[in-house]
Structure 1
Amino acid sequence: MITMIAAAAENNALGKDNDLVWHLPDDFKRFKQLTSHHHIIMGRKTFETFPKPLPNRTHIVITREENYQAGADIIVVNSIEAALDYAKNDDNLFIIGGGEIYKLGLPYATHIELTRVHHTFEADAFFPELNPANWNLVNTQFHGKDERHKYSFSYLTYERKTY
């Protein structure tokens, strides 16, 4: 499986100025649970937002920069195809963003784990629009606002339709 995992607002906003515009601890916990012990594919800008590499995951960073140095144990490639090829033996690899990488990865994705934040935000990075003709929504789980979550959100699981 090739799973895109993202949190996006009602207007598909992902973030602004290389940062998230919300804080959802339960979504972070779910992200960790799903992606641990798998390959995670991301763009350079997304990688550079991490204070350090995420534990228990193999990081693959896509960049156009020649000779980009990401640090020990970080795989650096120059295309989505090279990233997917590197992770081909993982039974469930994850594409974790940002906006440009999601656009590049969408044609290859078999599944999407989308946290839909029930609000709209000003942003400069967006999740691609999904064509309902290509995707089945197979699971939905709502999470209301609470003392730790300023916004309500829903976990949406999609599978690519096969013809």
Structure 2
Amino acid sequence: MKITIIVAIDEQLAIGFKHDQLAYISGDLKRFKRLTTGHAIVMGRKTFEALPKGALPNRRNIVLTRNKELKLPGCEMATTAKEVVSLCKNESRLFVIGGGEIYKMFMPLANHLLITHIHHSFRNADTWFPDINYDDWDMVEQEGPMTDEKNGLTYSYENLKRKD
């Protein structure tokens, strides 16, 4: 199974503020939907709570939480990364969609990174992506820079594959 981390990071590896993403970039949100639809996704409880309409449609939603009693509509629950991997053993691909602690947990297990680099530093960030050791990864593809028409932010994509 491919374990793919998909993330949008700013120039300081920041990913969030007050349990929400730093920016809404229309093209990136469309790309996220296109790539993750039809696949399993795993997220932390706080990331789930930040979703405006709950579980994402046309995806297998798995929420990783310490609370063994928690039940969320449209979601399967897990308490460890190992449990998530076991739940998804018959899936071709698992997308890790955040937040910070979940990214940190899955970084050693991931074999692909799909990174949206936002070419900006957000001052108010309170959640970060773990450091990326680029020696462990091969560049598969780069795209951009592009500019979001609504907010003027410039961004680019990086697709990395873990070295064998």
Q: Normalized against structure 2, the TM-score is what?
A: 0.94
Aligned residue in 1 for 2:83: 82
Q: For residues 149 and 114 of structure 1, what CA distance do their matches in structure 2 show? A: 19
Q: For residues 147 and 59 of structure 1, what CA distance do their matches in structure 2 show? A: 30
Matching residue's letter, 1:87: C
What do residues 108-145 of structure 1 show as CA deviations (whole Å, max 9, x unaligned)?
00001000100111311111111112111111001322
Equivalent residue runs for 1:126-145 within 5 Å: 126-145=128-147
Instruction: State yes or no: 1:152 paired with 2:138.
Output: no
For 1:31, what is the secondary structure of its paired residue? Answer: helix
Aligned residue in 2 for 1:24: 25
Aligned residue in 2 for 1:100: 101
CA contact (8 A) 1:59 1:74 kept: yes
Please list every run of 5 or more consecutive structure 2 residues that lacks an aligned counterpart in the other structure.
Answer: none
For 2:97, what is the secondary structure of its paired residue? Answer: strand
Aligned residue in 2 for 1:35: 36
CA contact (8 A) 2:26 2:148 kept: no
Please list every run of 5 or more consecutive structure 1 residues that lacks an aligned counterpart in the other structure.
Answer: none
The 1:64/1:144 distance shift into structure 2, 3 A limit, reads same
Aligned length: 161
**Moved beyond 6 Å, runs of 4+:** none
Q: For residues 16 and 146 of structure 1, what CA distance do their matches in structure 2 show? A: 20
CA offset at residue 69 of structure 1? Answer: 1.6
CA offset at residue 149 of structure 1? Answer: 4.2
